[in-house]
Structure 1
C-alpha cells in the first residue's frame, strides 16, 4: 500500500486506465456478453475494451452484431468511465459511499483534469457528474425521437441511451449493426444536430462549461475558456468549408464530419470513399482534437493556439498575447513538447503499421494511426482487416492518446535533485 502511495499521480492514472481496460476485456469475453453464433477473440475483446475506455470508437468487430445487451451495457459503462476519467469516477463512488475524499484522490483528479491547484475538487467532481447526467439525459431523449421511428420503443430507448453516452464522451461507438454507424441518418437534421451538440459540449471540457454557466458573458470568461471556444469555432468552420470543397457531401454532412473528426468518430458518410484531400483534412482535425479537461483526445485546441501565438511572436518579435493577456513561456514550451511527442507517436505507429500491413496504403494507415491517437474512431474501413500484431499497435496508440504522450513519457522518470549546472550557449535555428 505504501508503494502505491509513493507513486506519482501520472503513473497511478495510467495504471488505473490499464486495469479498467483489462477488466473490461475480461467481461466482454464472458459467454453472457457474446451473442449466439458470434465469436469474440481475446485480441478483439481487448481492442473493444481499449477503444471504449479510451473513448475512441475504432472497432475490430461490430458491437451490435457480436455483443448481447449485457455486453453492450459493459461497453457503454467503459465509455462512461473512460470519458469521465477513472479518477473522477473513483471520487464519485467515494462520495456516494459517504466517505471522505483524501488528499491523494484530490491530487489525482487535479492531475487528470490538468488543473493548476486542488481547490474545490470535490465540488468540481459533483458538478461534472451532474452535468454529464443532464447532457446525456437530454441527448437520449432527443435521439429517442429519431430512433423510435425505426425500432421498437424498448430497443429505441437502449439505442438512444447508448448513443447519447457515446456522443457526449466523444466515442464513435454505435449499436445499429452492420458497421454502418450513422450513415442511414445522414440527412436527419434532429439526430445530426443532437449528436453534434453532444460532441461539441463534451469536447469543450467540463471546466469551460462550468465557466460559461457561471459567468454567462464571453468577456468575463477566463482566458482558457475564451481560447477553447474561439479555437473550437474556428476549427469547426474551417473543417466544414474544406470538407465541402473536397467531398461530394451536403453542408449538413460537411458540418457533422468536421465536428465528429475532432475526436468523436461518428460518420454519416463512408470515410473510405473520401478523396485523399478530404482524408488529409480529417487527419489534421483528428490530430488537433478536443480541449483539455474534456472527454476528447488529440494535442488539444489550446496547444494549437499556443503554437500559433508562438509563431506569430517569433515573426514579430513581440510577446505571445491573447485577449489582452500574455501567454506564459512555459505554456508555449509545453505545447511544443506535446506536439513533438504526439507527432512521434503517430509517425512511429504509422511506420510500424506499414511494416506489418504492406498491402494497405500509407494514407490508410496514417489515417488509422492518427484516429487512434486522437481517440477519434474514424476509419477508412481497414480496422477489421488488421492482423493481431497491428491491432496491438493500434491499442497502444489509443492508450497513449487517452492518457497523453507527456504522461507516458514521464511514467518511468524518477525526479532527482540537480547538482550540476552548465554554462549557457545559443544554437542557430531556422
Structure 2
C-alpha cells in the first residue's frame, strides 16, 4: 500500500516537472516544424541537381520559411524543384498562421472539442490579451487569410500571365501571394533579384504591398475593423497600429525617395512614376516582408540606416510581421513624452495606459536590442564583412524581414547557425517574453522595502 502511494506521488511529481507552459509549447512546436521542414528540404528530389542540401543549409532555409523571414543561403528558384518550393510555401503558410491555428483547424474539421489548454495555446500563438472567443478568432483568421491570399493570387496570376505561360503564372501568383501576406519575402524569380524587374509595375507593387500591410497589421486589428465599422468605435490598440503603420509607411517612402532620388544604382535612372513606386515599395517592405525592387547593394548608407530602423520596428502584434512591433514603439514614445511633461500617467486618445504594459514595452525593446548587439558581436568575429553589412543582416534576421546586402550566401557555417537561431528568436522570442511578463504573478508580498533614490542620467 505504501509502495503504491509512493509510486503515485512520484508519477504526479514527474508529471508536474515535465509540464510546460503555453509559451514553451509554442517554441517547441516551431522547432518541430522547422526540423520536419529541414528533413523534407534535404530530400534529393527537393533540389534541382538531385543532390541534397547540407543539414545547415536546409535548416537555415526551413527556419527562414517557418519564421517568415526570407533570408536565403541558396537561390530559391534555381536550387529547388517544384516539390522543394511547395515545401517552403507550406512552411511559410503554417509559420505565418501559427502551427496552433492550423492544428485547431484540423481538430475542428475532425469534429474534436477544443479544450482549455488548446485555447491557451491559441491565445499565445495569436498574441491575444484575452482567452475569450478563441475558436471564433481562429475561424476568422483562417477564412480571412485564404480569402485575401486568393484575391492576391488571382490578380498576380493575371499580371504574370503577360510574362510567363499560364500554369507558371498561376503558380507564381499563388506562391508570391502567400509569401507577401505572411510577410515572408520569399520569391521564385531567380538570381536573388526578387522584384527588381517589377520596380515600376503598378499592379505588382500595389498588390504585394497591400498583402503585406494587411497581413502585418495583425488579425485583431482586421477583426476590430470588420466588427466596429466606425473609426470612433475602434479600440485603442487598433487606432495606434493604423496610425503608426500609415506614419511609418509615409516617412519611409519620403526618406527613400529623397535619399535615393539621384542614386545611379537605384532610383536615379528611373522616371518619376517608377521612382515613386520604387520608393514606396522600399519604404513599406522593411516592415517586414523582405522583397526588394531596388538593388540592395547600391543603397546609400543613410538609406541602409532608414531600412534597419524600419526592420527593427516591424509591424503589428498578432499578425505575420516581425520586429518589436509598432505598438511597442508608440508606447515608449508616449511614456517618454509623459515623463518630459512631468505627467505620472501615460494618456493617449482619451485613454490611460496601464503601467504593466509600459514596463513590458521597455522590457521587449531592451531585450531585443541586447539580442541584436550580442549577435552582432559574435558575427564580427566569424564573418569578414563591414560592420554595417553585418548589422543589416542581424536586424533583418531578428525582425524576420529577409532583406540582405549580399552577406547571407557567403555566411560561414557558424554564421549560418547564429543567424538561424536569431531568426527563431525573432519570431518566437519577443512574443514569448511579452506573455511571460504578462502572466507573471501579480501577488505582492505583505511588505514593501524602504524606498531609496539612485542618480541616473
TM interval, short-chain normalised:
over 0.9
Q: Partner of 1:32: helix, strand, or coil?
A: helix
Instruction: Tell me, in whole angstroms, the C-alpha distance in 1 between the residues paired with 2:199 and 2:146.
Output: 27
Q: Give the C-alpha shift of residue 321 in structure 1.
A: 1.3
Separation (CA, whole Å) in 1 of partners of 2:448 and 2:347: 31
* Match of residue 194, structure 2, among 178, 181, 188: 181
User: Which blocks of at least 5 consecutive residues in structure 2 are unaligned?
Assistant: 1-13, 262-266, 268-274
- 1:28, 1:74 within 8 Å by CA — same for their partners in 2? yes
Q: Deviations over 1:220-273 (max 9, x none)?
A: 100100000000000001111111111132111111111101110000011111
Distance 2:359 2:308 in 1: 24
In the alignment, is residue 210 of structure 1 matched against residue 223 of structure 2?
yes
TM-score (norm 1): 0.96
User: Residue 386 of structure 2: which of 349, 355, 361 is its match?
Assistant: 361
Structure 1 or 2, whichever has the larger Rg, is 2
1:119 correspondence with 2:132: yes
TM-aligned CA deviation for residue 137 of structure 1: 0.1
Per-residue CA distance 1:66-88 (angstroms, 9 max, x = gap) = 11111111100000011011211
Whole-Å separation in 2 of the counterparts to 1:302 and 1:409 = 13
Tell me the distance in 2 between the aligned counterparts of 1:224 and 1:99: 33
**Among residues 406, 410, 426, which one is paired with 1:381 in the alignment?**
406
Q: Is the 8 A contact 2:42 2:52 kept in 1?
A: no
**In 1, distance between residues paired with 2:433 and 2:114?**
26
Conserved? CA contact 1:40–1:66, under 8 Å: no
Partner-residue secondary structure (3-state), 2:45: coil
Query: 2 CA distance for matches of 1:406 and 1:86?
Result: 15
Q: Match for residue 356 of structure 2?
A: 330
Which residue of structure 2 lines up, in the alignment, with residue 403 of structure 1?
Answer: 428
Distance 1:397 1:96, change over 3 A: same
Residue 149 of structure 2: which of 115, 136, 139 is its match? 136
Q: Is residue 312 of structure 1 aligned with residue 337 of structure 2?
A: yes
TM-score (norm 2): 0.90
Q: Per-residue deviation at 1:404?
A: 2.3
Is 2:22 the counterpart of 1:9?
Answer: yes
Q: Spell out the pairing of 1:154-193 with structure 2 (5 A cutoff).
A: 154-193=167-206
CA contact (8 A) 2:127 2:431 kept: no
- Structure 1 stretches lacking a partner, 5+ long: none
Which residue in 1 is equivalent to 2:7? Answer: none
Instruction: Write the distance in 2 (CA, Å) between the matches of 1:218 and 1:284.
Output: 29
1:422 Cα offset (Å): 3.5
Q: What's the offset of the Cα at 1:381?
A: 1.1
Distance 1:37 1:30, change over 3 A: closer
Rounded Cα–Cα distance in structure 2 between residues aligned with 1:190 and 1:218: 28
C-alpha separation between the residues in 1 aligned to 2:430 and 2:313?
A: 14
Shift of 1:37: 5.6
Displacement of 1:150: 1.3
Could you tell me whether the CA contact under 8 Å between 1:172 and 1:376 is conserved in 2? yes
Aligned residue-pair number: 428
**Per-residue displacement from partner, 1:149-202 (whole Å, max 9, x unpaired)?**
111111111111000000000011001111111111111100000000001000
